[in-house]
Amino acid sequence: MKRLFIALVFCALPSSAQVVTSTSRGVVIAHDGRVQLSGGWTADGVENATAIVAGSDRVAVLDALNNEAVIADLATGKTTRVQTAETPIAGVFLGRDLYVLARDARVVQRVVQGVVHASGVPLKDAPEARTTPVSIPLDPDPAFLREANGKLYVYSRTAGTLQEIVNDRLVRRVRVAPFASDFEIGGRTGYLVYPREARIRTIDLPSMKVTGAVAVGAVPVDLAFAGGGTALTARILAVADPSAKRIWFTEGTQSTIEAVARGFVRGFLGLGLFGSRSSQFPTGVDRIVVRDKIWVAYDSSSGTLYRFTKSKSSVIAKGIAPQAFAVTSSGGVVYWKDGTLVAPGRER
């Protein structure tokens, strides 16, 4: 059933899966069974690239159909191929280790420098340990894996729980609500987006307690942080709402003292929170990527990629695959189309 579902998803995408990410050494693309650093090395990749994870010195490409990952060294292009548990959908690098979220197996797996870690001993040093990799059990339908302050957090959709993992052990859990469409972490706070309720729930991570909810839009589905955290404003949340064809802006969580102080300063200066509280689009955008001053939105139904501000939007490109674009560290947008990486200044 899992493979049929993913295959149906891929039928709606270009014939060859493409995923793109920006790294410390440049843009990395996984396509046509290969993984390559733009302008640099090329190596064998996975058959179906479904996700890509960038670390400080390595990149990992996941294949959710074949339960496989390929980890590439950014400097040399040397790769390590790893078999994962069922349906790897996400991953994060934590120090030298890669953690992979396997949805259908309901585990997070740890990969140490390119080798699956088992019984606490790297496989290259203990061939006899090639039995069961270290796996951290999760609640049903784990969907999002995030890292903050050296800790891992996993949100499970059908269970509606957020789990905290420290040193490969599940240490705390909080029940929030099921069926969130996105989970992000900003500072000490976790944010869960609920399309059906048109609200964002917040969790204080140090205490692992639900702290409140913010109503936003009509059908919010994705969230990104768009600055803030100054004397005038708390952290600003940009929230994609495809039903309204808008991205809404609202303030994130803040303490009572911070709220009173910021409200006084804004009142003293005669300032409102925003000149415009939303950015309008011709189509229903459902993803947001923010990197410094570059704000990008994406409509997965039409494959349209936009650049936007708090008051307007403009089309960058159309017909782009869902994972085939990235915002670079140099402040540009790149995307893969028709077998070519299109770089800043050459969008068409």
Q: Distance (Å, rounded) from C-alpha 178 to C-alpha 183?
A: 12
Express each pLDDT in 298-325 by its tens digit: 999 999 999 998 888 999 999 999 999 9
Cα dihedral across residues 173, 174, 176, 177: positive or negative:
positive
Tell whether the model's pLDDT for residue 128 goes beyond 80.
Answer: no
Q: Which of 33-47, 51-65, 166-180, 214-228 has the lowest mean pLDDT?
A: 214-228
Give me the mean pLDDT over the 92-111 stretch. Answer: 95
Which band of pLDDT confidence, cut at 50, 70 and 90, is reported for residue 278? confident
Which band of pLDDT confidence, cut at 50, 70 and 90, is reported for residue 230? low
Give φ, ψ of 19 to 5 degrees. -130, 140
Which band of pLDDT confidence, cut at 50, 70 and 90, is reported for residue 15? very low
* 8 A C-beta contact, residue 194 and residue 183: no
**pLDDT at position 96:** 84
**Considering the entire predicted model, what is its pTM?**
0.84
Give me the mean pLDDT over the 113-138 stretch. Answer: 53
Which band of pLDDT confidence, cut at 50, 70 and 90, is reported for residue 123? very low
* 8 A C-beta contact, residue 33 and residue 66: no
Give φ, ψ of 304 to 5 degrees. -90, 130
CA distances from 340 to 31, 37, 72, 144, 320 (A): 11, 13, 21, 30, 12
* 8 A C-beta contact, residue 109 and residue 84: yes
CA distances from 43 to 16, 25, 30, 31, 240 (A): 17, 16, 10, 11, 36
Tokens 């609640």 belong to 139
Cα dihedral across residues 197, 104, 57, 54: positive or negative:
negative
Specify the DSSP class assigned to residue 56.
S
Helices then strands, counting H and E runs in the chain, come out as 2, 33
Average pLDDT, the chain: 84
The larger pLDDT score, comparing residue 126 to residue 95, is at: 95
Dihedral angle computed from the Cα positions of residues 57, 72, 291 and 242, in that order, rounded to the nearest 10 degrees: -160
Tell whether the model's pLDDT for residue 254 goes beyond 70.
Answer: no
- Among the residues of the chain, which ranges form H helices? 2-11, 256-269
